[in-house]
Structure 1
Amino acid sequence: MSNFPFRDPWAKREAWRKHPVFSNRAMFANLFPGFGIAVVAFSVYVLVDNVYLSKPQSEASHH
């Protein structure tokens, strides 16, 4: 009999489940790949559209 009578014979085969790649945080971070870049790009688009490409108020209200 070994020194560890309650040793799990499947521990090596189940060790991958505890790897950081399979943590809930890592899974959530990879749920929407590219979402952060898309938010920044859309924010820049809205800023450019509202600031640089908008007509002045005096011309827009005058018919």
Structure 2
Amino acid sequence: MSQLYRDPWAKREAWRKHPIFSHGFYFRHMFPGLTLGVSAFVVYCAWEKFGKKPSSHGGH
């Protein structure tokens, strides 16, 4: 009896329910290198602020 109500297109439509097509996946992977780029920029700014020796160019 269950064969009467079987959807013949179910296999072809199964990809729509795959987790990779969810909104959460798109939101998490929207900017793939953002965290790495921001962290590298923060480390560079901290190194420039605290790690570099002041240059003695004799300027103002």
Question: What is the TM-score when the length of structure 2 is the normalising length?
Answer: 0.71
Structure 2, unmatched stretches of 5+, are 55-59
Identity value in percent: 48
Amino acid at match of 2:50: V
Question: What does residue 19 of structure 1 align with?
Answer: 18
CA RMSD of aligned residues (A): 1.8
List per-residue Cα deviations over 1:7-61 (Å, max 9, x = no partner).
2221111101111111111111221111110011011011111111264xxxxxx
**3-state SS of 1:8 partner:** coil
Q: Report how far residue 6 of structure 1 moved.
A: 2.9
Amino acid at match of 1:40: S
Question: What is the TM-score when the length of structure 1 is the normalising length?
Answer: 0.68
Corresponding pairs, count: 54
Q: Does 1:7 pair with 2:6?
A: yes
